[in-house]
Amino acid sequence: MATTFDKIPPARGDEARFCFRLACAMALLLVAGFSFQLAAGRSSFAVPLIYHVHAAVFFGWVVLFLAQTWLAAQGNFQFHRRLGLLAAIWVPAMVIAGTMLTVTAMQRTGGPFFFDANEFLIGNPTGLLAFALTVGAAVMLRRRTDWHRRLMLCAMAGITGPGFGRLLPMPLLIPWSWEISNTIGLGFIAAGMLRDYRHSGRVHPAWFVGVAVTIGWIALGEVVAQTPWAIELTHAVMAGHPGAVRPMEAYLP
**pLDDT tens digits, one per residue of 185-237:** 999 999 999 999 999 999 999 999 999 999 999 999 999 999 999 999 999 99
253/233 Cα distance (integer angstroms): 24
Three-state SS annotation for 48-109: CHHHHHHHHHHHHHHHHHHHHHHHHHHCCHHHHHHHHCCHHHHHHHHHHHHHHHHHHHHHHH
pLDDT, one tens digit per residue, over 43-74 is 777 789 999 999 999 999 999 999 999 999 99
pLDDT value for 4 = 35
Q: Does the pLDDT of residue 42 top 80, yes or no?
A: no
DSSP 141: T
Question: Which tens digit of pLDDT belongs to each residue from 92-116?
Answer: 999 999 999 999 999 999 999 999 9
Confidence check: pLDDT of 3 > 60: no
Q: What is the pTM of this model?
A: 0.91
Domain spans, the chain: 13-239
For 126, 220, 245, the CA distances from 216, given in Å and listed in that order, are 10, 6, 31
> What pLDDT score does 224 carry?
98
Q: Is the pLDDT of residue 8 over 70?
A: no
In the chain, what is the straight-line distance between the N-terminal and C-terminal CA atoms, in Å? 42
pLDDT at 47: 87
**Quick one: pLDDT at residue 12?**
57
244 has a pLDDT exceeding 90: yes
Q: How many CB atoms lie within 10 A of CB 82?
A: 13
Nearest to 161 by CA among 173, 176, 178, 136: 178
For 3, the enclosing helix (H) or strand (E) is: none
Other CB atoms within 10 A of residue 16 CB: 20
The C-alpha atoms of residue 187 and residue 33 are separated, in whole angstroms, by: 16
Which has the closest alpha carbon to 150: 182, 92, 190? 190
pLDDT confidence of residue 124: 97
